[in-house]
Structure 1
């Protein structure tokens, strides 16, 4: 059975309610029955508009609770009980409002036994952040939804394949593309504008704006990019146990400035494959970066395990990008590593990088890092002065808040890279200042990145290559053991006796191990849903 009792109670391990996320048609009867129960419990008249609003609200709440539990049974869903998030407009496609949200939540909580457990909102004075109310489903709700899900599968098959939704699918492989039999998502606009920040608090709301020729053109380009992206399957070639651990509850960690490190974003392989752009401070001159791809939220050390259509990948990134952009503005070329200061040991590069980013993004002074995080013999003032001296040509931009304007430029560059790669039939996954492609497409990506940067900045920039999975395959002892050998020597002997194993042999041997069963199943499920033509088009019928 898919219900698994939470074993970690981490208040911060939560995601916001996705207001366009709903259950599919097969749940209609269940939703209508519970809607009637809610109206009777609330003593409300069953007028048509009231029934529709309650049913739509219930649909969104249950879909979020059900899917979140399937993917990560420890995660909460944040369902705000104030009116701010439920503004009418394109970001609220089901027309949720506070009254109906409260009615649904109250009903689910007051039933005996309850359908949901909740944690009330509070304010963390240490972190200076407010936590809104959050919820998790109980066993009763999950068992009822599971029963409906298994009884209400569509009669029509997908590409002549029968539905593959089983108990095993729900419990062991919630990221399978067959999840499309249960849920669907009404997309919010792909170009989004946040309000100007007003003090501290939760996420700034998205605001409506009159479309312009520029924003329409952005949306059209994003539609083409997302259509191309949707035709590919992105996954992680890691053992199934490691995958479950990666998507589980994050550690509570803080950086050198005692700021909480970002918690893992939601890793959802099927419903987090579309990109959108986010602009900030009520203007299209600030921000504009691409978000929405689940691969953007995984820790960097896992990115070399990404696969596209079953093939391993490579990552290239712009070196010192925002700093190089400031030098380009001054008609100068950045020399060397922007995050290296003479006399500061290399192991403190991360601190220098964060400090430099804070300096160009902040307006005014920035808080000092923890004493234990600083290089021996360096006080905070001396470290700042050394950074300013190192970057004297661009020191005028320090504490100017220009970083948010640079994001508009680097996001325009990223858009050009993706469009150029798509024109040649190559998918490039953006991670702000880096891109991930199938291994073997690095030369095409490097050319696209160099050209896009020159187009926008009128200058050149260094492009670095991150470590790929393939070169380390025969030497990584963990991977060798996963292939069934005690050590590299035994693996090398077997490879020599069988003839030299090439790139695809390594990958095939790895993914066929028992520890990768869920990975193999997700890949095969995607092929079945896409159909045979997709397999031939991507040379992926192996």
Structure 2
């Protein structure tokens, strides 16, 4: 079964998808939600909207739904007050069960939204969507209503008063991709000891990050960007319908920052953050898989193309991920080369320089190599956590406090060699 995974809040557009996983993270918000629930209860009684009392399980779901809507609209109002949250009211979509969707996505949700948006309550401002029979369709959008805004202001609620639920699925499985640039739909799966173990790891890491001393100086945020340092939930996303493919960590506000923003504005335990980056991770892991040695210091410095390193890096990695020979430049790579350079010329140069990897090219092995990289990164985070060090992952790199740089380098090198048998190459970006 295919489902859509809610998008991360990664862009700067005012409108975004509803995030059903928001929860209160302060007594002020908990009290506000109780106030809203009491008023909803009085509204239902006044207008006799219910003939019988909800079952206990339904009542719990109802209260979670109200809480999630209120929390997400508080977050949106504080983060992008001019924007809106779009949400589905489709009974077909709301009736679909999935491990990636919370129980609040039920057919009762539209009625809850209507009550919250009623003139008597005004906690939500709702603009109903419509089918575009003679033009584009419009999704239902929400934003904080005037009574919710007044309560946000009177209680001086900030972004740190809103958290993310631990019930959110952190082990995600994508379907096989149709092309190198297709992400693949999310797949349902049955849990095994392996997936349960991965989830336990993520739960431990996320709890560690949740209590970490992280701060960002908004002075260094890009124009119009609001950095929510409470957004720390990480997920592992596996690919190609296999738990032996992909597995990289996604999420966390630091992944949405530019390198310059992280360098200047991010602090861990009150210290400047330092980025430790595995160099040439994919080809080095590939050579380790073949139990052979990388024949050059820089895997991406290809003879005859030394001034086109960035392009060669992308093409070499594409050759490892592709399941058939490349007949054109990968997406976005053409600009890295001169007009006269053809894909066949570039590929031939890479094949000559990396003759030892010939048996791996065009086999799709890149997905397995990325899985091995993700296992390395998780192991690095767990080992540093055991040393009391907060490390923030960015694919094949981590951010650590300045004082933990040397320890971070030692752990990263040890873990890389444990997994691959190859000496790592780690760069320090301060």
Q: Under TM normalisation by the shorter chain, which class is it?
A: 0.7 to 0.9
Match of 2:68 in 1: 60
Q: What pairs up with 1:106-125 in 2 under 5 angstroms? A: 115-117=125-127
Give the whole-Å Cα distance in 1 for the aligned partners of 2:83 and 2:360: 41
Q: Alpha carbons of 1:74 and 1:419: their partners in 2 closer, same or farther (altered >3 Å)?
A: same
Give the whole-Å Cα distance in 1 for the aligned partners of 2:114 and 2:328: 43
Give the whole-Å Cα distance in 2 for the aligned partners of 1:355 and 1:116: 47
Q: What pairs up with 1:223-238 in 2 under 5 angstroms? A: 223-237=203-217
Q: Alpha carbons of 1:68 and 1:395: their partners in 2 closer, same or farther (altered >3 Å)?
A: farther
Deviation at 1:39, TM superposition (A): 9.7
Deviations 1:484-530 (CA, angstroms, capped at 9, x unpaired): xxxxxxxxxxxxxxxxxxxxxxxxxxxxxxxxxxxxxxxxxxxxxxx
Match of 2:396 in 1: 433
Scaled by the length of structure 2, what TM-score is found? 0.78
Verify the 8 A CA contact 1:307 1:438 in the aligned structure 2.
Answer: yes
Verify the 8 A CA contact 1:361 1:404 in the aligned structure 2.
Answer: yes
Q: What pairs up with 1:127-206 in 2 under 5 angstroms? A: 133=139, 135-137=141-143, 141=145, 143-149=146-152, 165-166=155-156, 170=157, 174-175=158-159, 177=160, 179=161, 183-188=162-167, 191-197=170-176, 204-205=185-186
* Alignment match of 1:303 (pick from 240, 248, 262): 262
Deviation at 1:433, TM superposition (A): 0.9
1:95 aligns with 2:95: no
Question: What 5-or-longer segments of structure 1 have no aligned partner?
Answer: 1-9, 123-129, 152-164, 249-266, 469-542
Match of 1:330 in 2: 290
Deviations 1:429-468 (CA, angstroms, capped at 9, x unpaired): 21121111111322211110111011111121211111x1
Match of 1:33 in 2: 39
Give the whole-Å Cα distance in 2 for the aligned partners of 1:333 and 1:38: 71
Q: What pairs up with 1:13-32 in 2 under 5 angstroms? A: 14-23=15-24, 24-26=29-31, 27-32=33-38
* Alignment match of 1:319 (pick from 275, 279, 282): 279
Verify the 8 A CA contact 1:53 1:100 in the aligned structure 2.
Answer: no
* Alignment match of 1:359 (pick from 312, 316, 319): 319
Q: Alpha carbons of 1:59 and 1:419: their partners in 2 closer, same or farther (altered >3 Å)?
A: closer
Give the whole-Å Cα distance in 1 for the aligned partners of 2:189 and 2:204: 23
Give the whole-Å Cα distance in 2 for the aligned partners of 1:13 and 1:203: 26
Q: What pairs up with 1:112-511 in 2 under 5 angstroms? A: 115-117=125-127, 133=139, 135-137=141-143, 141=145, 143-149=146-152, 165-166=155-156, 170=157, 174-175=158-159, 177=160, 179=161, 183-188=162-167, 191-197=170-176, 204-205=185-186, 207-212=188-193, 214-237=194-217, 239=219, 242-243=220-221, 245=223, 247=225, 267-270=227-230, 272-305=231-264, 306-334=266-294, 335-344=296-305, 346=307, 348-364=308-324, 365=326, 367-368=328-329, 369=331, 372-466=335-429, 468=430
Give the whole-Å Cα distance in 2 for the aligned partners of 1:121 and 1:407: 41
Scaled by the length of structure 1, what TM-score is found? 0.64
Question: What 5-or-longer segments of structure 2 have no aligned partner?
Answer: 1-10
Give the whole-Å Cα distance in 1 for the aligned partners of 2:268 and 2:327: 41
Helix, strand or coil at the partner of 2:276: strand
Report the number of matched residues: 400
Deviation at 1:188, TM superposition (A): 2.9
Give the whole-Å Cα distance in 1 for the aligned partners of 2:354 and 2:131: 44
Helix, strand or coil at the partner of 2:255: helix
Deviation at 1:144, TM superposition (A): 1.2
Verify the 8 A CA contact 1:358 1:366 in the aligned structure 2.
Answer: no
Q: Alpha carbons of 1:198 and 1:380: their partners in 2 closer, same or farther (altered >3 Å)?
A: closer
Q: CA RMSD in A?
A: 3.7
Match of 2:7 in 1: none
Deviation at 1:136, TM superposition (A): 4.4
Give the whole-Å Cα distance in 2 for the aligned partners of 1:132 and 1:387: 48
Deviations 1:397-422 (CA, angstroms, capped at 9, x unpaired): 22322222122211111122122222
Give the whole-Å Cα distance in 2 for the aligned partners of 1:406 and 1:362: 13
Helix, strand or coil at the partner of 1:137: strand
Verify the 8 A CA contact 2:391 2:399 in the aligned structure 1.
Answer: yes
Q: Alpha carbons of 1:319 and 1:356: their partners in 2 closer, same or farther (altered >3 Å)?
A: same
Deviation at 1:314, TM superposition (A): 1.3
Verify the 8 A CA contact 1:274 1:293 in the aligned structure 2.
Answer: yes
Deviations 1:369-422 (CA, angstroms, capped at 9, x unpaired): 565553242123322332333323213322322222122211111122122222
Verify the 8 A CA contact 2:129 2:140 in the aligned structure 1.
Answer: yes
Verify the 8 A CA contact 1:296 1:431 in the aligned structure 2.
Answer: yes
Give the whole-Å Cα distance in 2 for the aligned partners of 1:341 and 1:70: 49
Verify the 8 A CA contact 2:40 2:115 in the aligned structure 1.
Answer: no
